Chain A
């Protein structure tokens, strides 16, 4: 059974997935950040692979990606860094990124290396359903990687069920159609999440985009299995304290 499935069997509420950018703030911060997230209560790590043109992300995450690229982060370097990851990291790790750098690396090699270092799954926002079904899905499944699709309030029900059926691990519910790092109207979000709850989906649902503190985390957790925090944590890391201090302080405030 995959680490993600095991996690949700043990804990089906208040699951906290935290996004961090590989190679940020320093090239060699990746593992330190991940260990710190684990130690301070994160349940899943979403590890972002930086890209020059990240369409689905807002300013904060793009800036951290630019720093990481300037630091010299590449997919190859990342897999080097992750070689020893499973000696210390026991929680699920999901790689998030965009298709272009992965295609240049080689899609199959990417899946194999990810499996070899102990990655659990992928979130690839610009890999669409048609291409997943016809080109890339098979390789992902052959390498036993979970694959998480995004759904939004505008996703039609039939399509939502299809995306749920093809996802494994969890389903990523975008709180509203927006890029990361924007504030949301949470009364609308609640209605949307209640609708999702009523659909009896196959996968647990984690909510992302606009989750930034205890208040917003608790608000969406009331109607879902948990949430994903990205931009707010990157901002906390950017403030210049040590990784451990910034992470401890940030997660303590969210989980108190």
Chain B
């Protein structure tokens, strides 16, 4: 266990949105008013008892929270430690993403917005956004990279069925980073009536903090459930996969200032960290600015953003949320990675020994368990961020190859 600076509050960014040197709001003036309104109002709106009541009622009755914390007996025996799975895969729409979209749609209503825009990579956040827009009767436009639209047909169909318009992002590399650019531009072009629901702990302040707060319900529940099951609210370690980092931020949040809890973030190594086909941002990136905040960013020596690679579209992002960049730099977090191959193997292994088919993103978090030297007395919580239905096509290809 490493030591870290006890005087730092890892949860809350500065008033300008900085976690250490990371964060801020590097946005063109055209976005200033929108972001400023959010920045001035989000805490107040979120702390309003009526907001909290509506948020928690929807999380309970619509999303299906609290999600179970499940003791994985066979997995624990195999690894030689005590492993609990936080079952975010059991949320409505199949992943943790909806915790944030529920929060932001209520916030958007209170800001008087009529229309929602969102970006999506694999389509999970797009589906979660389309879902809450249908629930609240709001217009929904989702920007999605042209390449991702081809790769993720079932999620595109789900969004359309939920009444959303899916707009292909045709600029740049035609993937998540460009879908985010297009969504931000759309927001610039129609600022007054529109709210932009960012899906991860990225973007200009206050988004990283706001999304982390909405996702923090995950660790809030973990503490209560662990207390019931083990007598202590604090585990030895919390493990989560990190693309932009929303499920990790939610799973870490209420442990950030608990120095005994090891926070383990698993990035996607793709074909291998140094293969040239990777999305392991902290290993390959340098400080830089993308999508309105300063963070760690995969880029060329000349500062052009590079296209990462991961088999899981949800981890295929060249940056990382500024909170995570700070956890990495301050060594509060332990950053490691798993390859495409390891993630695939663990998607099958978890299915076979626990009867749970995880999303490919989530499978990365499991892949590092054998390498961490956990002790038999350690209590390890893994955030099972999403279910694997959306990845069935990939899993079927693997099974065909094995034939």
Contacts and interface: CB of A to CB of B under 8 A. Distances in A.
Interface of A: 51-53, 55-56, 58-59, 62-63, 66, 69, 74-76, 98-105, 125-128, 130-131, 149-152, 154-156, 159, 163, 174, 177-179, 182
At the interface, is chain B mostly helix, strand, loop or mixed? mixed
B172 A99 contact: no
21 contacts: A55-B28, A55-B181, A56-B28, A62-B172, A66-B172, A75-B302, A75-B303, A98-B289, A99-B26, A100-B288, A125-B28, A126-B26, A126-B27, A150-B30, A154-B191, A156-B33, A177-B33, A179-B30, A179-B185, A179-B189, A182-B189
Given A128-B26, A155-B29, A174-B29, 19 more contacts: A52-B305, A53-B177, A55-B27, A55-B188, A63-B171, A66-B172, A100-B297, A103-B287, A104-B288, A104-B303, A126-B28, A128-B24, A128-B32, A150-B29, A174-B30, A177-B30, A177-B188, A177-B189, A178-B188
A238 B178 CA distance: 23
A100 B289 contact: yes
A127 B191 contact: no
A103 B172 contact: no
Given A59-B171, A128-B27, A150-B30, A101 B188 contact: no
Given A62-B171, A128-B26, A99 B289 contact: yes
Interface in B173-208: 177-178, 181, 184-185, 188-189, 191
Q: When A and B form their complex, which 8 residue pairs have the shortest distance between CB atoms, in order from nearest?
A: A101-B303, A104-B303, A56-B28, A154-B33, A125-B28, A150-B29, A74-B302, A52-B304
A103 B185 contact: no
B290 interface: yes
In the complex, which of the residues A53, A126, A163 has the most CB atoms of chain B within 10 Å of its own CB atom?
A: A53
A150 to B, nearest CB: 4
Given A62-B171, A179-B188, A127 B26 contact: yes
B144 to A, nearest CB: 17
Contacts of A149: 29
Nearest to A66: B172
In the complex, which of the residues B184, B188, B305 has the most CB atoms of chain A within 10 Å of its own CB atom?
A: B188
Nearest to A159: B32
Contacts of A178: 30, 188-189
A131 B32 CA distance: 14
A100 B303 contact: yes
Contacts of B303: 51, 75, 100-105
A190 B181 CA distance: 29
B213 to A, nearest CB: 22
B301 interface: yes
B16 interface: yes
A178 B186 CA distance: 8
Interface of B: 16, 24-30, 32-33, 171-172, 177-178, 181, 184-185, 188-189, 191, 286-292, 297, 299, 301-305
Contacts of A56: 28, 30, 188
A103 B191 contact: no
Contacts of A75: 302-303
A62 B173 CA distance: 12
A104 B30 contact: no
B29 A151 contact: yes
Contacts of A55: 27-28, 181, 184-185, 188, 291-292
Contacts of B33: 152, 154-156, 177
Contacts of B291: 53, 55
Contacts of A99: 26, 289
A104 B290 CA distance: 13
In the complex, which of the residues A59, A74, A125, A154 has the most CB atoms of chain B within 10 Å of its own CB atom?
A: A154
Contacts of B172: 52-53, 62, 66
B26 A104 contact: no
A148 to B, nearest CB: 11
A63 B172 CA distance: 8
Contacts of A62: 171-172
Given A55-B184, A178-B188, A131 B24 contact: yes
A150 B189 CA distance: 16
Nearest to A209: B30
Contacts of A76: 302
Contact of B26 (A52, A63, A131, A154): A131
A243 to B, nearest CB: 24
Contact of B288 (A69, A103, A127, A182): A103
A156 B304 CA distance: 33
Nearest to B181: A53
B28 A104 contact: no
